[in-house]
Structure formats: structure tokens, C-alpha cells
Amino acid sequence: MALGSTITYAIAFQNVGGQAVSVDHTDHLLDVPDMGSITGQPTFVGGNGFGLALSPVTGGNQFTVSGDLAAGATATVIYSVTLVDELPEGSDGVFTNVVVPGDGVPPEGPCEPGDQLCTEHPTPLVPGFELTKTSDPVSGTTVQGGDTITYTVTGTNTGATVLDPVVITDDLAQVLNNAALTGTPTASAGAAPTVAGTTLTWNGTLAVGASVTLTYTVTLNEDVPAGTIINNIASGSAQPPTTPENPVPPITPPPVETEHPVPGFELTKTSDPVSGSSVTGGSTITYTVTGTNTGATVLDPVVITDDLAEVLNNAELTGAPVASLGGAPVVEGTTMTWNGSLAVGETVTITYTVTLDADVPAGTVINNIASGSATPPGLPPIEPPPVETEHPVPGFTLTKTSDPVSGTAVQGGSTITYSVTGTNTGATVLDPVVITDDLAAVLDNAELTGAPTASLGSAPVLAGTTLTWNGSLAAGQAVTLTYTVTLDADIPAGTIVNNVASGEGTPPGLPPITPPPVETEHPVPGFEFTKTSDPVSGSTVTGGDTITYTVTGTNTGATVLEPVVITDELSAVLNNADLTGAPVATVNGEAAAAPSIDGSTLTWTGSLAVGQSVALTYTVTLDADIPAGTIVNNIASGSATPPGLPPITPPRWRPSTPCRASR
């Protein structure tokens, strides 16, 4: 019988005897409702049961005919069953109907040949094949490098025919490019599946109701790229019985697949000016921190933190930080934080600006480190490496020393060794570095002794009276220029041997750094000594005359003189004269300590500042009986000591023509 058709049944009860006969039979429609349903209710033909009655249909698939059938009567029951359009899974395709006397139980199995109480209506056998695929973790679960996925592919014969051959294939191309099989694939029936290239295949036969389950496991590569979807598609075909006369095509259910997304999160940081650029006090730096969902899953929460400790100790935020999505970042102490979520492919950009303190120390590195974490579904947070920027602060200092040290008195023939040092005190290279030393006020009274040297790079070059060094200095590096001069023997007293050095160092991308010029000074001392008299030296004097002497010592140099000692030998005076009054001393016209007299020697001791003069004055009266022809001769001498040098002793002073006595 064709599926969907109607079967009409007739049950005849005939009494061929002369007396009424008791009847009790039950009709069992064993395949209702699976294969059909009663569409025409049981009834007696002609409406006359001749003493028999019909029970209601119970359970939807059985009814009873019972009663006393009249002698010679025939009662016929008719009804109809309509078959289903599609057989249920596991059906044998045979619609069976059995009438059993009394409370009998319907026999199992097919109808016996010649049994008039059992009918069978076979239907065409319908094949069926289903394919399913599952995974552990389940499809859609987030995975990461090192995870394992176990796949299970099941093919089931859901029809009423054997299936032969059954071919199941699993395309592993989008799995094995980022994973490796762990162990050998297995099958619950038949031979194990084989793997050729990236295709897993099982071939076998499935009886009615039979299933085969293929199982295999893969381990994801540690470096599986973020955003990858581990996609796996299985397909199959099953061949029902077929003949050349009645060919039946294979059953090909829809392919089945699983997907396992790989999450990803990237963090980047940029700045303007770019990381590594030199900055100075007052500069601004704009930072941009970007977090990107590079994976195939939502990330929630995403937390980005930026450690500003090494920024805000030398700078201040300019305005409020902003974010391209979600809420604005929050600054607590020296930590800036953004919290939010990122959909697949979404990016958040955090931007803020700082202004460096005007007095940010040279050598400081404005270091800024951002970190982040992003949590995919069902996995621990992704924590990419921290990202950072650095902005070095340059610095350059210039110093100058000398031997003897600056301020020390020098004299003709002395040597002075100069050392000029340029130091890169910053955190960047300085290139070029130019150091110049102006020797004009040195070489007009001195000469270079030997060639100038440099502790690194080329030797400095002297052009005219300017010494120049050109080179570069790495961070922390220093160069020292050294040279020596010998002062001229006749260098004038009062000269200051002055030497001024200057320099500049250029950091990357910034104007040159020009520290203040540095200089040394070496004063040349001087002391002059004179003596005058009234009457002037060479005049003729007589007994009773007076002579007033003035001895003057002058500091003609550029240093203090201490002590200054002036002595006047009066022996050739006092043997023919007497002091008149006490000797006096003045310094620059102001009264000073008087000179002392010890025997015939007059002495003054004191100090003279630069440019000061001391004048010693005393008067003698010649004896009335001074012999004619006597020469009143008076010799003065002096010494003056500058700092760190031996005393200056100008020639003793005596009159070129002594005073002569006459009568």
C-alpha cells in the first residue's frame, strides 16, 4: 500500500447453525497510530448486527464485537484506516491488523500463512540518514592557545533500509592550520576513520536504527592568532538499496559544523612628540593609549591603566583625559584607569596631555607605562605586554678650572694650566657640542706651552686667540680640554690674566643648550717704591737746616699686598742730625699707624689694597757743627708680599745726589 492511502476492512460473522451463537472478538490495529489512523469508524453493514454489538474504539486502536448472533444470520463490520504520509523512525513499513477471540493476546511477528484473522499491508520502505556534530567545549565557546577541543560526529540510520555505503567526511582545514591532532580518531562502529591531508573520512555500513560515532581531539597551537575562528564542517552521504531499474540516490543531510572563536586584545601607546624625542621644561606631551579587540569574541570587562608616577612628578595634566567610547578615564593619585567593554573589532582610544615643569631636572626621563586586561567569555583575562613611552630631558654644563686656581696671584714666568670641561648631564646625545675659549686676554701676555688636548674626540683647534673643540657627547659623557700657558717675564703689574670659555650642546630636535660662560682670573701683583726730600736731593744744606723726607710705597698690582715692610736706614743722617718730631704715615692721604724707629732704622709694616699707597714722612734738623763736606745720605728699601708668591723687593732707593753740608 502506498503511504497516505486508505485501507477498508470488513469482518464477517456467519452463523450457519440453527441456534444463536455467542460471539466475542477484539480487533487490534497494532500500527495505529504510528502508521495510520481510523478514519471510518466501525459499523455494521446495513446497520443490523443480528444480535451483535460494537464497543467504542479504545486506545485509538482496538474495538470489540460481542453478543449472540442469530441462527442463519451474517453480520458484517466495516471500517477504514488511512496510512500516514511518512513512516516513523524505526518502522518496518508493514501495517498489521489482527482479530483475536476473547481476551487473547495478538501474536508477535508476521501473520501466519492462511490466517484469516490477520492481515498485513506492506508499504514501500523509506530510508533515512541523519548527521550531527558536537564538541567539548560546546560550539561557540571561546578558546585560546593550548586548549583542547574534542569533536564528536554521529551518523544515524533513521530509515527502514540498510545504508551501504555510508561515508562521513570532516573537513579539518580550518582546524589543523592552527591545531594538531591529539591521539588517533576513533569510531564506535566499523573501522577507525582515516586522515588524509586535512580531511577525516569514515566508510562503513549502517543497519536500520544503527549509529556510528566518530571522536577525535585537537590541541590548539600556542600562537593561534587572535580573531581566528576554529571552524569545522562535517558532511556525509548514505546509500539506500538501489537497482538499475529503480535507482535511488544517496541521502546527503545538511553539513554540520562547530565554531570556536579565539579572543584577542592589543594595547598600544603613542605620543606627540614621539617616544624618544627630547623635551624641556614647559614642553607639552600628548599621549594616546589604544586598546583593540583583535579577537572574535566580546571582551568584558576591559581595564586599561596608565601609570603616571614618572610623569606627574615633573609635569601636570593639561585638561581632562578623554576616551573615544564609554566613560572618561579616571585619575586617582598617579594612576589613570578606563573601564568598559569592546565588541569584536572595536577600539577605544584614550588621550591626555601633560605640560612639563619649567624646572624639570636635566637627565630626567619622562617615562610612562600603560597596561591592560580584557576578559573574553569563559576564559581568564588577556594581558598584553605593557606599553611605554620615554621622553629624555637634555642637559649640558660647562666648567673651567685652572692650576693655580682662579684668583691666585701669578707673575712673569709663571705657568697656568687650564681645564675646560663640558658634561652631558641629560638623557640624550648632544650633537654637535661646541666649546670655545677666548684667549685674547691671556695670549697678549703669555704663550701656549705645548698643544691643547681633549679627553675625547679630536684635539681643540686654535684660530687666532680662540680655542675651539667640536664633537658629540653621549648621555653622561664629558670632555675635558687642557692646555698650559707661560706668562711673559715682563707682564705688567696689575694685569689680570682673564680667560672666558663658552659652549653649547644641541639635543635632538631642540635648540642648543648654552650654559653661562665660565672664566678664570689670575691677577699680577706689583709694588713700587720712591723717596723724595725737601729740599730736594742734591741741595746744599748747612748746620741748623731741616730736611723733610717722604718715602712712598704703592701697590701697582691686582692683588692685596701683605705684609708691606718699608725700612729707612738713618745712620748716615742721625750722626749729624736729630729727628724733629715723630715720623708719620698716611695711606691714600688718611692717617695710618706711624713707623717705628729702632736705633737708626725706621720701619713701617702694614698692608696695601690694590691701588693703595703709603707715604712715610719725617723731618731732621742738621747739627749746627756739621762738618763741611758731609753728605747727608739716606737709603730706604721695601718689600711687599702678594698671596702665594714671594715678596716683591724693588731696588733700594737712594738719592742720586745726596745733600751736601757747607759752612
pLDDT at residue number 662: 55
pLDDT over 60 at 565, yes or no: yes
User: Averaged over 460-483, what is the pLDDT?
Assistant: 98
Which CATH number does the domain 265-393 belong to among 3.40.50.970, 2.60.40.1530, 3.30.465.10, 2.30.31.70? 2.60.40.1530
At residue 60 the predicted structure's pLDDT band, cuts being 50, 70 and 90, is confident
pLDDT at residue number 124: 76
User: Averaged over 42-48, what is the pLDDT?
Assistant: 92
Count other C-beta atoms under 10 Å from residue 629's C-beta.
9
Instruction: Please state, in angstroms and rounded to a whole number, the distance separating the CA atoms of residues 349 and 302.
Output: 12
pLDDT at residue number 108: 85
Helices (H), 425-543: 440-443
CATH number of the domain at 129-262, please? Answer: 2.60.40.1530
- For the record, the C-alpha cell of 104 comes out as 487473547
If we measure between CA atoms, which residue out of 291, 287, 301 comes closest to residue 268? 291
What lies within 8 Å, CB to CB, of 15 at 6+ separation is 21, 50, 69, 70, 71, 72, 73, 74
pLDDT at residue number 661: 54
Q: What angle do CA 88, 90, 93 make, to 5 degrees?
A: 70
SS3 610: coil
Specify the DSSP class assigned to residue 198.
T
At residue 411 the predicted structure's pLDDT band, cuts being 50, 70 and 90, is very high
Fold of 5-122: Immunoglobulin-like (2.60.40)
User: Averaged over 518-538, what is the pLDDT?
Assistant: 96
pLDDT at residue number 634: 87
If we measure between CA atoms, which residue out of 640, 615, 613 comes closest to residue 531? 615
Q: How far is CA 270 from CA 89, 99, 351, 390, 602, in A?
A: 65, 90, 10, 10, 86
pLDDT at residue number 543: 95
Count other C-beta atoms under 10 Å from residue 95's C-beta.
24
User: Averaged over 480-500, what is the pLDDT?
Assistant: 97
Worst-scoring range by mean pLDDT, 58-62, 84-88, 266-270, 381-385? Answer: 84-88
Count other C-beta atoms under 10 Å from residue 126's C-beta.
17
Q: What angle do CA 328, 331, 332 make, to 5 degrees?
A: 140
More confident residue, 292 or 83: 292
My answer on whether omega of the bond before 595 falls inside 30° of 0, hence cis, is: no
pLDDT at residue number 302: 99
pTM of full prediction above 0.85 = no
Sign of CA dihedral 94, 95, 101, 103: positive
- Domain boundaries defined on the chain: 5-122, 129-262, 265-393, 396-523, 527-661
User: Averaged over 645-650, what is the pLDDT?
Assistant: 96
Using one digit for the tens of pLDDT, what is the confidence trace for 566-589?
999 999 999 999 999 999 999 999
If we measure between CA atoms, which residue out of 395, 614, 418 comes closest to residue 520? 418
pLDDT at residue number 86: 81
More confident residue, 436 or 662: 436
- For the record, the C-alpha cell of 299 comes out as 571582551
Instruction: Please state, in angstroms and rounded to a whole number, the distance separating the CA atoms of residues 526 and 409.
Output: 10
CB 61 within 8 A of CB 96: no
327 φ/ψ angles, rounded to the nearest 5 degrees: -75, 165
Q: How far is CA 227 from CA 19, 262, 290, 344, 650, in A?
A: 91, 5, 18, 8, 98
What lies within 8 Å, CB to CB, of 630 at 6+ separation is 576, 660, 661
- Residue length, the chain? 663
pLDDT over 70 at 497, yes or no: yes
CB 200 within 8 A of CB 238: no
pLDDT at residue number 660: 53
pLDDT over 70 at 653, yes or no: no
What lies within 8 Å, CB to CB, of 30 at 6+ separation is 61, 96, 97, 98, 106
- For the record, the C-alpha cell of 550 comes out as 717722604
Is residue 279 within a helix (H) or strand (E), and if so which, with residue range? Answer: none
Cα 70 from chain centre:
107
- 5-122 and 265-393 share one fold: yes
What lies within 8 Å, CB to CB, of 600 at 6+ separation is 569, 570, 571, 573, 574
Fold of 396-523: Immunoglobulin-like (2.60.40)
Average pLDDT, the chain: 95
Phi-psi region of 70 (alpha: psi -120 to 50; beta: other; left: phi over 0): beta
At residue 34 the predicted structure's pLDDT band, cuts being 50, 70 and 90, is confident
User: Averaged over 530-543, what is the pLDDT?
Assistant: 95
CB 632 within 8 A of CB 658: yes
Using one digit for the tens of pLDDT, what is the confidence trace for 68-106?
999 999 999 999 999 998 877 767 778 889 999 988 898
Residue type, position 310, single letter: E
Residue 334: half-sphere exposure toward Cβ, Cα within 13 Å? 13
Using one digit for the tens of pLDDT, what is the confidence trace for 324-364?
999 999 999 999 999 999 999 999 999 999 999 999 999 99
Using one digit for the tens of pLDDT, what is the confidence trace for 167-186?
999 999 999 999 999 999 99
Is residue 24 within a helix (H) or strand (E), and if so which, with residue range? Answer: strand 21-29
Which CATH number does the domain 527-661 belong to among 3.40.50.300, 2.60.40.740, 3.40.50.720, 2.30.33.40? 2.60.40.740
pLDDT at residue number 656: 38
At residue 657 the predicted structure's pLDDT band, cuts being 50, 70 and 90, is very low
Is residue 539 within a helix (H) or strand (E), and if so which, with residue range? Answer: none
Using one digit for the tens of pLDDT, what is the confidence trace for 212-242?
999 999 999 999 999 999 999 999 999 999 9
Using one digit for the tens of pLDDT, what is the confidence trace for 107-166?
888 888 888 889 988 877 788 999 999 999 999 999 999 999 999 999 999 998 999 999
